Each structure stands twice: as structure tokens, then as C-alpha cells.
């Protein structure tokens, strides 16, 4: 068989296999939805709220109407109003954008910093590894709220300050996970073969080690998402995160707690939304971990 015919045969095989792969992925997604309907439904609801927020409500989340303060639930205000007459349902919807902003930005920062530190420490060892261990021990000696207080004192209280403090606290744990994976992978035969043919350190790390560390990074990042949400909400509750009138759920819980006996609906609604979201993110993080573990076990 000529080389051209062999090439055509391989291309036909790839075209035949591709639909099966797509069908397999679709079936996997459908099985996941069937096994986790509540988690998937809640996450999709948050995504819809975040993307279509302005289209779902005609209320302004920042507009103050003192005459309408603490209105009961009605057709015009589905979950009532707060102490400034602002629609609670509208502020909850806009708050979902802050939740995803926290998850994405905090996850990106901790994954980027932790991956770089873990790759360098695990691959080179010796001095970089020792420095990483000391940095990790130093950061984890402080609770995240204390880091947030120090950053707020150095800069100013804001949502970004709370996210930065949370990301800095999450980075050492991810760096340790990445370091452990790199220590295992760098002894593999293909890494030794790359060194033997004269491949540079950067090539080995980016092409040989990083792709095999990505599952661990994904698992750790997804597992840290609910902790990031609750940590930023806690800092906002203490006045060290999002500042009024930003519709952050942690800040809303603090504002509602002052009126929890006279107007309990306000604090109950916001607390339930925050709690359920954190629980769902925890369950989804565990599911991602289990799926990747089963996938790696097959290989």
C-alpha cells in the first residue's frame, strides 16, 4: 500500500471515529445531568441569572426608594424590598454575576500562581523546593480573614481585595498538589527520553509535564471554588470585601442581619441562596474529582 493510500485510509478512520466520540461525550453529559438533576439545575439557573439578569427584572438594583422600604413579597417585588426600598430579587440576580466573578478570577489567580510555583519546585527541587515549602508554611500560618484584613489595611476594602486575599490563601495548597504530581511525573521514561535527546527545561515542563498535571489542577481548582465563594462572602460580611451598594451576597447578609427579627424574609432568602450555592459547588467539585479519577484509572 502506497503512502498516499495509507494517509487516505487513516483520514477515513478518523472521520468515522469522530462522530462516535461526540456521541459518547453527549451521552456522558446526559448521564451526568440524570444523576445530578438538582445540582445541574441550580447551576444552570445561576448561569441564566448571570447572563440574562437585566432581561429578567425591570428593577434597578441600586435605585433607592425609601418610601418602599421593607415591602412584603408581591408581584412587583417577588422577594420584597430591603432597608433602602431596593428589590431583593433583583439584587440577588445581579449578585450571581459577582459569584461567577469570584469563582473565575480567584480560580485563575490561584491556578496560575500555584501551577508556576509547583512546577518550578517539583521539577528543579533543591533551593526552589525549599523556598516553596517555607512560603507555603508561612502563608498557611495565617487564616484567610487575617490576610484579608492586612490587604484591606494596606490597600482598601473592596471586592478585588477580598478575591486577592482568598486566591493567595488558596495558592499554597494547589502548589503542593502540583509539586507532588511533578515529582512523580519527572521520573517517567518519556521525560528521561526528552532530556536524553537534549530538550530544554521549558519544553519538557510545558510539553511533557504540564499536560499530565492538568487533571490535578482542575480538581483542586474546582474543589476550591466553594471555599472561595464563602471566604469572599465572609470578608464582605465583615466589611472587608464588596462595599455598598454592590449586591454581593455576603454584604447583603450583613445588611439583612440587622433586621432579621423584624423582617426575617430578607435574611432567610439571601442566606439560603448563598448556602445552597456553596453546597452545590462542593458536590460538583467532588463529582469532577471522581470523574477524572475514573478516567485516569482506565489508563
Q: What is the CATH number of the domain that holds 251?
A: 1.10.3720.10
Output b/e per residue, 192-224; b: 16+ Cβ within 10 A. Answer: eebeeeeeeeeebbeebbbebbebbbebbbbbb
Residue 2 belongs to domain spanning = 1-35
Q: pTM of the prediction?
A: 0.85
Are 91 and 5 part of one and the same domain? Answer: no
Q: Which of 166, 148, 48 is nearest to 103 (CA)?
A: 166
- CA distances 256 to 33, 66, 235, 240, 267, Å, are 35, 16, 16, 17, 5
Are 153 and 27 part of one and the same domain? Answer: no
In the block, cell 421593607 appears at 70
Q: Determine the pLDDT at residue 17.
A: 44
Residues 61, 87 contacting (CB under 8 angstroms): yes
Q: Determine the pLDDT at residue 18.
A: 45
Are 109 and 230 part of one and the same domain? Answer: yes
> What angle (nearest 5°) sits at the alpha carbon of residue 177, between those of residues 216 and 152?
105
Are 30 and 121 part of one and the same domain? Answer: no
Are 12 and 59 part of one and the same domain? Answer: no
Number of domains in the chain: 2
Are 28 and 60 part of one and the same domain? Answer: no
Are 213 and 259 part of one and the same domain? Answer: yes
Are 66 and 21 part of one and the same domain? Answer: no
Are 171 and 267 part of one and the same domain? Answer: yes
Q: Which of 235, 262, 78 is nearest to 169 (CA)?
A: 235
Residues of the chain with pLDDT below 50 are 13-14, 16-21
pLDDT (tens digit, 9 = 90+) per residue, 171-211?
888 998 998 899 888 888 888 888 888 888 888 888 888 88
Q: Determine the pLDDT at residue 16.
A: 47
Are 47 and 24 part of one and the same domain? Answer: no
Are 9 and 83 part of one and the same domain? Answer: no
Q: Determine the pLDDT at residue 15.
A: 52
Are 1 and 80 part of one and the same domain? Answer: no
Q: Determine the pLDDT at residue 12.
A: 59
Q: Determine the pLDDT at residue 109.
A: 94
Q: Determine the pLDDT at residue 195.
A: 80
Amino acid at each position: 500500500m502506497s503512502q498516499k493510500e495509507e494517509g487516505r485510509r487513516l483520514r477515513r478512520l478518523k472521520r468515522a471515529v469522530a462522530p462516535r466520540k461526540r456521541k459518547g461525550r453527549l451521552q456522558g453529559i446526559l448521564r451526568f445531568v440524570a444523576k445530578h438533576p438538582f445540582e445541574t439545575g441550580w447551576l444552570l439557573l445561576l448561569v441564566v441569572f448571570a447572563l440574562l439578569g437585566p432581561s429578567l427584572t425591570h428593577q434597578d438594583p441600586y435605585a433607592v426608594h425609601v418610601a418602599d422600604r421593607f415591602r412584603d413579597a408581591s408581584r412587583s417585588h417577588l422577594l420584597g424590598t430591603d432597608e433602602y426600598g431596593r428589590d431583593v430579587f433583583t439584587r440577588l440576580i445581579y449578585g450571581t454575576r459577582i459569584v461567577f466573578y469570584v469563582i473565575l478570577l480567584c480560580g485563575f489567580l490561584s491556578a496560575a500562581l500555584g501551577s508556576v510555583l509547583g512546577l518550578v519546585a517539583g521539577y528543579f527541587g533543591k533551593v526552589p523546593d525549599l523556598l516553596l515549602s517555607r512560603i507555603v508554611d508561612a502563608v498557611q500560618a495565617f487564616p484567610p480573614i487575617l490576610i484579608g484584613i492586612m490587604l484591606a489595611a494596606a490597600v482598601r476594602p473592596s471586592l478585588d481585595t477580598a478575591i486577592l486575599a482568598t486566591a493567595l490563601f488558596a495558592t499554597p495548597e494547589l502548589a503542593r498538589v502540583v509539586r507532588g504530581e511533578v515529582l512523580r511525573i519527572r521520573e517517567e521514561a518519556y521525560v528521561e527520553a526528552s532530556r536524553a535527546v537534549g530538550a530544554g527545561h521549558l519544553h519538557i515542563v510545558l510539553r511533557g509535564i504540564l499536560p499530565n498535571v492538568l487533571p490535578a489542577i482542575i480538581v483542586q481548582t474546582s474543589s476550591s471554588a466553594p471555599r472561595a465563594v464563602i471566604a469572599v462572602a465572609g470578608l464582605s460580611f465583615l466589611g472587608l470585601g464588596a462595599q455598598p451598594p454592590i449586591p454581593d451576597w455576603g454584604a447583603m447578609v450583613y445588611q439583612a442581619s440587622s433586621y432579621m427579627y423584624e423582617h426575617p424574609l430578607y435574611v432567610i432568602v439571601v442566606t439560603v441562596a448563598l448556602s445552597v450555592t456553596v453546597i452545590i459547588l462542593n458536590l460538583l467539585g467532588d463529582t469532577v474529582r471522581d470523574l477524572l479519577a475514573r478516567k485516569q484509572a482506565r489508563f
